[in-house]
Structure 1
Amino acid sequence: MKRSSGARLCATAVVGALSLALLTGCSDSGSEDGGSDGGKGSSAKALTKAELDNLLIKQGDVAGYKVQPVDKELASSKDKLKSDEKCLPLVYVMAGLAPTDAPAETNTMARQEKKPTDTASKSLEDLAEGEVEDAMTDALSVDVTVVTLSSYEGEGAADAFQSVSDAVKSCSGGFEVTDGGEKSKVTKVAAEDAVGATGDEAVAFAATGEIDEKTGQSGVMHAQVVRHGNTIAGYFTMNIGAMMTGKDYAIPAAIVDAQAGKLK
């Protein structure tokens, strides 16, 4: 696949429209308070945002990843996101938001740490023709995952999970997304096997996003939703370098396991 500067810009634009936060560079804990009974319904009350914040993974919880807050100035909000109503739960998950309206939600971002290659360690002036593009692609070839926790009352979590599961099927042919004034297109949604600890129930999907309408270039993004009692944990992973080159990547199981461990 030829990787032009135009394609890089288009990739950035598409990714930004779905989840601008990724480009910056609560739930039940198994106690009586959390009310996790493993069933679809619960009489437990939703946790507060502060309680959810305490349950999020933190720096040091996942080896090889830097965990940091999502840039609030770049993060999307539900009132700015427009799409086919049945597909909105998928859009929200990919934007680092709760799949449906929740009494409380929060998120964080885990960025893969990697050692610089010989090419990446050179100064721009020292790079030969062709190495500049390789260096840029290498710099972008890191997994970036937004982890979202949302807490619900009653059967709210089960309903939120079901909305995502239904959308994976009904939106398989793709959908358009408008984030403020930015438009983008998902051309395909396909169910995937969930990775890591899957809680009470889990659903995962790959979304193919259009990068360049003229050339037909596209890139794949990965998302997963796991229900832990009255809590929904959402994961959205992108690797822009892999999207540009067509290489395979996946949601890091280590992140899912670390977050699940805090929700037991």
Structure 2
Amino acid sequence: MKVRTTFVTAGTLVLCLAAAGCGPDGGEDGGAGGRATASRTPASGDGSAATPGATAAPAPTPTTHGRTLTEAELAKVVLATDEVAGYEIAPLEGTDERGTEEPGDKACRPITAIINGSPEPAPAATVFRTAMDTREEGQDDQTVVTEILTSHPKGGAEELLRSVRDAVRACAGGFRTTSDDGPSTYTEVKTLPAAGAGQESFAYQVTGSLEGVRVPLVFHLVRTGSTVVTFYAANYLTATAPEVPADLVTAQAAKLP
């Protein structure tokens, strides 16, 4: 999970951020809402040893008893600078507008919803952050991870993880989308090993195509109670899968009530 650039796109939050517009198929923002990342190091096994399903791990006993957190409460439990050594945490700009990708296959909608920056089922509250590795300041492949915290009414958080798992299986062979900025192509979707965190975790890779070049996007979802954290990283410099650092995942999961 390494990045190179800022994240704005032409009016939409494209998770796959890029400087002059990014996105599979070379569309101006092609559709992944937010930050383009470039990577030097592959994710665990680069996905080749992918394990199906989620990797669950024990979590601290929730003090909210699964209560749906407000936006103010999410802001209190999101990671802050200095809580993970070497990372600067900052609000993500441009989140008022989200991506508009719609898949040709409805089975892939849970995946595109996250790409758009709008996980489904619709959350009750959302907080966006970016985590940047300050030790790599000035490098073309500086690590930048986008983080989305969402709180959900009863059952919604579990449904989000369940629907994404189903979509990853259903859309393994790839899919196409249309958006306000044109069509996009994703050639492959696969499960990745997930760092054990929270009460439930799941990781996967979506491979896009930018002017014929392979663009890997990696997502790591963690659920505790009614809160889901989605970590996102992309690589626009090479075809190597980016990595979402386990220390970010585990530190954020530990803060969830």
Q: Does 1:81 align with 2:101?
A: yes
Mapping of residues 1-264 of structure 1, within 5 Å: 12-14=22-24, 16-23=29-36, 30-32=61-63, 34-36=64-66, 44=67, 46-72=68-94, 76-77=98-99, 80-83=100-103, 84-115=105-136, 139=140, 141-195=141-195, 197-212=196-211, 216-241=212-237, 245-264=238-257
Instruction: Provide the C-alpha distance between the structure 1 equivalents of 2:154 and 2:205, rounded to a whole number of angstroms.
Output: 29
Query: Contact 1:177–1:184 (CA<8 Å) still a contact in 2?
Result: yes
Deviation digits for residues 220-254 of structure 1, max 9, x if unmatched?
A: 1111112111111111112322xxx2334311111
SS in 2 for 1:17: coil
Q: Which moved more, 1:176-185 or 1:48-57?
A: 176-185
Give the letter aligned to residue 106 of structure 1: V
Change (3 A) 1:19 1:67: farther
State the TM-score, normalizing by the size of structure 2.
0.73
More helix by share: 1
Q: Taking structure 1 as reference, are residues 98 and 65 closer, same or farther at Cα in structure 2, changes over 3 Å only?
A: same
Where 2:210 maps in the other structure, the secondary structure is strand
Deviation for aligned residue 1:155: 1.4
**How far is the alpha carbon of 1:57 from its aligned partner?**
1.1
Query: How many positions carry a matched residue from both structures?
Result: 215
For residue 89 of structure 1, give the secondary structure of its aligned residue in structure 2. helix
CA distance in 2, matches of 1:150, 1:9: 26
Over 3 Å counting, the alpha-carbon distance change for 1:74 and 1:114 in structure 2 is farther
Residue in structure 1 matched with residue 3 of structure 2 by the alignment: none
Gap change, CA 1:115 and 1:199, over 3 Å in 2? closer
**Separation (CA, whole Å) in 1 of partners of 2:226 and 2:136:** 39
Looking at structure 1, the residues matched to 92 and 102 of structure 2 have their Cα atoms a distance apart, in angstroms, of 21
Distance 1:60 1:188 in 2: 36
Unaligned runs of 5+ in 1: 1-7, 37-43, 121-137
SS at match of 1:220: strand
CA distance in 2, matches of 1:75, 1:259: 25
CA contact (8 A) 1:97 1:107 kept: no
For residues 234 and 168 of structure 2, the distance between their equivalents in structure 1, rounded to whole angstroms, comes to 18
Q: Distance in 1 between matches of 2:198 and 2:92?
A: 24
Q: Where does structure 2 lack aligned partners over 5 or more consecutive residues?
A: 1-17, 38-58
Matches of 2:168 and 2:119, distance apart in 1:
16
Separation in structure 1 between the aligned mates of residue 65 and residue 134 of structure 2, nearest angstrom = 36
Q: CA RMSD in A?
A: 2.8
| Distance in 1, Cα, partners of 2:95 & 2:150 | 20
For 2:33 and 2:186, how far apart are their aligned partners in 1? 16
CA shift, 1:144, in A, is: 2.1
Instruction: Flag the structure with larger Rg.
Output: 1
One-letter amino acid matched to 2:191: A
- Superposition deviation, residue 74 in structure 1: 7.7
User: How has the CA–CA distance of structure 1 residues 199 and 173 changed in structure 2, closer, same or farther, with 3 Å as cutoff?
Assistant: same
Closer, same or farther: CA 174–209 of 1 in aligned 2, 3 Å: same
Deviation, 1:263, is 0.7
> How much does 1:9 deviate?
8.7
